[in-house]
Amino acid sequence: MEKTLEQISSLCKRRGFIFPSSEIYGGLNGFWDYGPMGAELKRNIRDAWWRFTVQWRDDVVGLDATIIMNPRIWEASGHVGGFADPMVDCKDCKKRHRADQLCEEQGLKLVRDGKAWKLPEGCKCTACGSANLTEPREFNLMFKTYVGPVEDDSSVAYLRPETAQAIFAQFLNIVPTSRKAVPFGVAQSGKSFRNEINPRNYTFRSREFEQMELEFFIRPDEAVELICGHVATLADNPDLSGDPQEDWGWEVWHRYWVEQRLKWYRLAGLPEQDLHLYWQKKDELAHYARACVDIEYAFPFGVQELEGIAARSDFDLTQHQKHSGKSMEVMDDRLRLACAAKSDEEKAEFKAKVVADWTARGKDAAAAEAFCDGLFQGRYVPHVIEPSAGTDRLALALLCNAYDEEKLVDSKGKEDVRTVLRFSPSLAPVKVAVLPLVKNKPELREKARELYRSLRRRWKCAWDETGAIGRRYRRQDEIGTPFCVTVDFDTLGEEHPELKDTVTLRFRDSMEQVRVPISELAAKIDASMEL
């Protein structure tokens, strides 16, 4: 079925998924709150991502860093100098636009003229049609604040625009305490803030949002070559579904993480045909990046980014090394031992090759030599692959994907429409609803309460005893509850002793109902959880 953002946002408001922030005061553009159902959904996404990325792996650890950090981090990362979007104002209607988006909407391309941006011929305000626009000017997206009682330049700090930088800034604490050796990763999820010029498409581009980011540190290809004698590339057709291998170069690691992340989105319930990969072109890549892939989803408003997966070389750690004056090198015992076994001639030959390679890429020969000398002692600054996802974007994608309106015809030929959210059970806000068939029979109600109390220790459950059972099922369908359990007279076994301690289990998607012993219920529900 065709779905619109209006249908989805209306259900989200009605059933407590998403509300405009501070609504009683007219809201605040670009800020959204998650209601009782939305809070559960987002928490499930975060927790499932953590299980998939950290808990189920041996080579990733976690971090939970502060939102406000020393502002020198953002100087080192390049955010103070360069985290800006070009902005234009319409001089007639006063509407403010992000210049690149304004051009894109009209099939035009914003032009870089030296350091400045220029609007192409024909670009107009999309709100009023006027061509009377200001020149584009850069607008830094970081929210500024002050730390302490004095508001001056020395107390300026920023709300983090990404969670990633804290991982680099804490690298030297994490390495010894985690007892992990490269290749290994550090994951963090949490709030990020960007003063977006033009928040839009519901929660898709917000000013306060959550990210789930992984920095996966790998050996530079030169270190892999010294250890393994060669560097595996994609041309070697490596098995990306198995365990990572020691001879993988950055290109294979990058592709491995693209596959891992696609697997995550499939497990989260997004269908293959709605997931797209966009490989950034050479001229779109940041100067330090070797490759970047966006995983995109077909939202009702177009195919848009869910996550970026970038191969960022050693740029970030090197920047923090320069700005903090602290060495970000690791000691790699495998490398040190491999180099100790090499002759001086072998090392000289290797060094000559690296110098030739680096200088061909416009890099400094002395830096290449120093890099090789470090490698021969087992030292280097790790490179990094960064899969960076948006929690709110995934929540929105899951809502869009789950939303369905199903036409039903009852036995008397009467037509009806059932609104249902078809979430994967692992991410559904409520897993099980326990419904006593009637509320005025104390033994039956107590039996249902007992079951509810036991199930809710493991899963978020709902208790609903009001209204006809059919209406109660529909209420659960609308919030995407995969299982409803009805406790009825047979559960008590008064008339049919053989049915004692059995319940009706009703499946959300098929609406099929089966009779199940209470003792088998938890295992049945558990078996449906993929994440």
By the criterion CB under 6 A, which residues form the site for ligand GAP? 162, 164, 194, 196, 205-206, 209, 211, 213, 305-308, 386, 388-390, 392-393
> Residue 138 Cβ, how far from ligand GAP at the closest point, in Å?
16
Contact 479, 37 (CB under 8 A): yes
Contact 395, 41 (CB under 8 A): yes
Q: Which is nearer to ligand GAP, 269 or 308 (CB)?
A: 308
Determine the Cα–Cα distance for residues 212 and 388; give it in Å rounded to an integer.
6
Tokens of 197: 């010029």
The β-bridge partners of 117 are: 112
> Residue 280 Cβ, how far from ligand GAP at the closest point, in Å?
11
> Residue 89 Cβ, how far from ligand GAP at the closest point, in Å?
21
> Residue 162 Cβ, how far from ligand GAP at the closest point, in Å?
4
E strand or H helix that includes residue 254: helix 250-267
> Residue 165 Cβ, how far from ligand GAP at the closest point, in Å?
8
475 Cβ contact list (under 8 Å, min separation 6): 464, 467
Q: Is 397 exposed, middle or buried (0-12, 13-18, 19+ CB in 10 A)?
A: buried
Q: Which is nearer to ligand GAP, 299 or 358 (CB)?
A: 299
Backbone angles phi, psi at 134, to 5 degrees: -75, 165
Q: 3-state class of 207 per DSSP?
A: coil
523 Cβ contact list (under 8 Å, min separation 6): none
Give the Å distances, CA to CA, from 395 to 12, 42, 67, 76, 256: 11, 6, 22, 32, 24
> Residue 160 Cβ, how far from ligand GAP at the closest point, in Å?
10
Q: Which is nearer to ligand GAP, 99 or 505 (CB)?
A: 99
> Residue 434 Cβ, how far from ligand GAP at the closest point, in Å?
36
> Residue 141 Cβ, how far from ligand GAP at the closest point, in Å?
9
> Residue 95 Cβ, how far from ligand GAP at the closest point, in Å?
19
Residue 353: CB atoms within 10 Å: 14
Q: How far is CA 198 from the centre of its chain?
A: 21
Q: Which is nearer to ligand GAP, 54 or 397 (CB)?
A: 397
Determine the Cα–Cα distance for residues 250 and 311; give it in Å rounded to an integer.
7
Residue number with the smallest Cβ distance to ligand GAP: 390
Can you tell me which residue has the tokens 């002692």? 377
Determine the Cα–Cα distance for residues 298 and 463; give it in Å rounded to an integer.
35
Tell me whether strands 483-487 and 502-507 are parallel, antiparallel or unpaired: antiparallel
Contact 351, 328 (CB under 8 A): no
Q: Which is nearer to ligand GAP, 310 or 402 (CB)?
A: 310
Q: 3-state class of 356 per DSSP?
A: helix
Tokens of 43: 């928490």
Q: Which is nearer to ligand GAP, 87 or 389 (CB)?
A: 389
Residue 31: CB atoms within 10 Å: 15
Please report the sign of the dihedral spanned by the C-alpha atoms of residue 381, residue 385, residue 390, residue 391: negative
Determine the Cα–Cα distance for residues 268 and 274; give it in Å rounded to an integer.
13
Q: Which is nearer to ligand GAP, 139 or 489 (CB)?
A: 139
> Residue 294 Cβ, how far from ligand GAP at the closest point, in Å?
7
> Residue 460 Cβ, how far from ligand GAP at the closest point, in Å?
25
Q: Which is nearer to ligand GAP, 205 or 472 (CB)?
A: 205
Q: Which is nearer to ligand GAP, 209 or 315 (CB)?
A: 209
Q: Which is nearer to ligand GAP, 389 or 399 (CB)?
A: 389
Determine the Cα–Cα distance for residues 134 and 141; give it in Å rounded to an integer.
19
Contact 335, 375 (CB under 8 A): yes
> Residue 429 Cβ, how far from ligand GAP at the closest point, in Å?
20
Q: Which is nearer to ligand GAP, 205 or 508 (CB)?
A: 205
Can you tell me which residue has the tokens 């997966």? 309
Q: Which is nearer to ligand GAP, 290 or 445 (CB)?
A: 290
Tokens of 356: 């030739």
Q: Which is nearer to ligand GAP, 388 or 476 (CB)?
A: 388
> Residue 185 Cβ, how far from ligand GAP at the closest point, in Å?
14
- DSSP letter for each residue of 38-66: HHHHHHHHHHHHHIIIIIT-SSEEE----
Tell me whether strands 156-158 and 144-146 are parallel, antiparallel or unpaired: antiparallel
